[in-house]
Structures are given as C-alpha cells and as structure tokens.
C-alpha cells in the first residue's frame, strides 16, 4: 500500500489505548488510519473479568469491553489495516512527514503518529519454559484454564495479574500453588484478600521456579525457597506465568527515547522525544498500568496530536 497521500494521523496498536485514540481522532475529524497486526483489543481480550472499569457494577469480560469499544469506533467509521509496522522514519524535507513501513515492504505517510504498542508477558527464562509452551506452560488463564479441570497447577507472580489469574483458575482446577519471590504481594489489597481467603490457593512465599520438567507435557516444577535454600519438586499439570510485561518497542531503534526497560518516555501531553510522535497505554513508562489509565492516555494523545497536526499544516 505505497500511498502518496498523507494521513493526518496513524495509530499503531489496537488495544484500549489505540481504540480510544482512534475514537477521539475521528471525533476531531482527523484523517486517521489504525494499524493492528493481530486482533483488536490486545491483552484485554484475554481477561476473564474486569471489575474496576467504571460503568460496569457487575463487572465485564475483556472480550465484551473491547466489543463495545469497537462498536463505538465503527459508528464513526473504522479505517483499519491489519499489518505489522517494522519501521517509522521522519522525512525532514517534506513538511515533517512520517513514513511508516510495513513488514511486507510497503509504506504509508502521515503528519503524526501515535504509538499504542502495548506489552507482552515476560518469561522466566528457565529450563523447560520454552519447550513446554502450549504443553502446560501458559500466560493466559482465561484461554487455557478450562484445559486443566480438576488438576493441580502453579501460578508464578505477585502482582494484580497473577492474583486475578489465580482466582480465575480456581473455577476450574483442584488446587493452585501461588509462587511469589517476595514475602508480600504487590497486588491491590482487595485481590490479596480474595486470594488469602480462597481454600484452593496455597501460597509459597520467598520462592522461585528453577526448572519445568515433564515428558511431552508439564509434569513437575523445581522450586527454590530463597530463605532456606530448600529445593522441592511440585507435581503440577501446568504452570501459569504472570511476572510482568515487556513493552513491544524493540523495533523503534532510536525513534523515541525509552527508559532502561524499553518503555517509552513521554511528557504530560503524551508527546515523546520525537516531535509528532505520541505514545499511550502499556508501552509508556509509568508506575501503574490499568485499562482506564490506558484509555485516558489514548484520549490525551489524540487531542495532543490534533493540536500538533494543526500547527504543522499551518506553519
């Protein structure tokens, strides 16, 4: 799609942040293209139940929430391309226009870009993890939980995601070993209360998983108690890993400044170090990552981009 026409705005990423950016861009009458290489919604689609998004007192599944967001943007006209962006470069001598390259070798042009790239689950990096992905190693309780009905499984992590997914898994499994490397959780107090009260969950504090073993599928894991040095094997049918996320920013290669972990640095208007490039959602450097925060940033990024585009076009 080597296009000579120039879009006002291109949004890369179709999760909650990207969809909200698109909604605000369309309402601002910007000529906008949304680019998403996979499915709309990102990680949120895989969330079983969301109970802290305003307006849904009974909670709502991630799939349903994204379905509503997509319907809302479709009412304004959804201009979507399902391609992977591999490079963005600024054409300095053409009124500060950006060239957005796709993995198929084609490109398109825009005055501004919003990066709503999201993040991917971190891995433990231990023996057996890679080999058993899809064979007992999982990063999604909603997707794979039903396959472990009445089994014993392990969950690794101590944040909101780990505790939420452990609770989700108790709907299916016989027992959950919740393994955390520290002596207290980082998750919100309400989730901690639910986990501590759940009879199906046994917590292993100050512990790490050293290896995943099995024959064709996961059968046991090796766990180290960091305080005592004791090593034990737990017989489990699966291990669900929720130890945080890595930003999907590896391909930016100097386009914008990032923090030591690769998350994009922005100012209060979601402007990056590169004029005309804005960022929002889980790919941004910040202390908290929540759906509602991503949506707020998406709106702010679009409003800031609209001001920038108006300035560029009149200068």
pLDDT in tens, 88-131: 999 877 667 999 999 999 999 999 999 999 999 999 999 999 99
pLDDT of 229 reads: 97
Return the closest-CA partner of residue 12 out of 30, 31, 38: 38
Q: Give the pLDDT confidence score for residue 96 in this predicted structure.
A: 74
The answer on pLDDT for 3 being more than 80 is no
Is-catalytic flag, 143? yes
pLDDT of residue 89: 94
Give CA–CA dist 275/90, Å, rounded.
Answer: 10
Identified catalytic residue from 144, 160, 283, 295: 144
237 close to 151: Cβ distance less than 8 angstroms:
yes
Predicted confidence band at 5 (pLDDT cuts at 50, 70, 90)? confident
Q: What is the pLDDT of residue 168?
A: 94
State the architecture of 6-120+245-314 in CATH terms: 3-Layer(bba) Sandwich (3.50)
- Model-level pTM? 0.86
| Domain-wise residue ranges, the chain | 6-120+245-314, 123-241
- pLDDT at residue 289 greater than cutoff 90: no
Please give the CATH number for the structural domain made up of 123-241: 3.50.50.60
Over residues 290-315, mean pLDDT: 96
Rounded CA-CA distance 48/101 in Å is 35
Q: State the average pLDDT for the chain.
A: 95
Q: Which pLDDT does position 44 carry in this prediction?
A: 92
Name, in order, each residue with C-beta under 8 angstroms of 17's C-beta and a sequence gap of 6 or more: 116, 118, 280, 281, 282, 294, 295, 297, 298, 301
Residue 43's pLDDT band (cuts 50, 70, 90): confident
- Contact predicate 200/173, CB 8 Å: yes
Q: Give pLDDT, residue 46.
A: 84
Same CATH topology for 6-120+245-314 and 123-241?
A: yes
Residues 177, 218, 46: CA angle, nearest 5 degrees? 70
Task: Give the pLDDT score at 33.
Answer: 98
Q: Which of 104, 143, 183, 267 is catalytic?
A: 143
Residue 90 near residue 274, CB atoms below 8 Å:
yes
Between the CA of residue 9 and those of 1, 17, 58, 111, 302, what are the distances in Å?
Answer: 16, 15, 36, 6, 9
Residue 112 exposure: Cα atoms within 13 Å on the Cβ side: 30
Q: Is 283 a catalytic residue?
A: no
Please answer whether residues 104 and 91 qualify as being in contact, where contact means their C-beta atoms are separated by less than 8 angstroms: no
Considering the candidates 8, 48, 140, 283, report the single residue annotated as catalytic.
140
Residue 268 has pLDDT above 90, yes or no: yes
Catalytic: 140? Answer: yes
Q: Which helix (H) or strand (E) holds 166?
A: helix 160-169
């Amino acid at each position: 799609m080597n296009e000579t026409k120039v879009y006002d705005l291109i949004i890369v990423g179709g999760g909650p942040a990207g969809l909200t950016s698109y909604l605000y861009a369309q309402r601002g009458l910007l000529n906008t293209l949304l680019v998403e290489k996979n499915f709309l919604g990102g990680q949120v689609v895989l969330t079983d139940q969301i109970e802290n998004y305003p307006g849904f007192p009974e909670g709502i599944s991630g799939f349903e929430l994204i379905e509503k967001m997509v319907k809302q943007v479709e009412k304004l006209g959804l201009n979507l391309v399902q391609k992977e962006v591999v490079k963005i470069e600024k054409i300095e001598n053409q009124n500060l226009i950006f060239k957005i390259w796709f993995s198929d070798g084609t490109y398109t042009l825009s005055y501004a870009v919003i990066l709503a790239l999201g993040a991917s689950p971190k891995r433990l990096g231990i023996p057996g993890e890679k080999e058993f992905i899809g064979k007992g190693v999982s990063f999604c309780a909603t997707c794979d939980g039903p396959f472990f009905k009445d089994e014993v499984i392990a969950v690794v992590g101590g944040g909101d995601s780990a505790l939420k997914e452990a609770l989700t898994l108790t709907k299916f499994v016989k027992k959950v070993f919740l393994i955390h490397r520290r002596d207290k959780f980082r998750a919100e107090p309400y989730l901690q209360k639910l986990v501590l009260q759940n009879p199906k969950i046994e917590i292993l504090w100050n512990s790490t998983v050293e290896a995943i073993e099995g024959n064709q599928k996961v059968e046991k894991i090796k766990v180290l108690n960091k305080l005592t040095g004791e090593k034990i094997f737990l017989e489990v049918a699966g291990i669900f890993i929720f130890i945080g996320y890595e930003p999907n920013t590896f391909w930016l290669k100097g386009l914008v400044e990032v923090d030591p972990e690769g998350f994009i640095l922005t100012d209060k208007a979601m402007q990056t170090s590169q004029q005309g490039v804005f960022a929002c959602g889980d790919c941004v450097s910040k202390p908290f990552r929540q759906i509602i925060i991503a949506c707020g940033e998406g709106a702010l990024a679009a409003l800031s981009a609209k001001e920038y585009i108006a300035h560029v076009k009149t200068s």
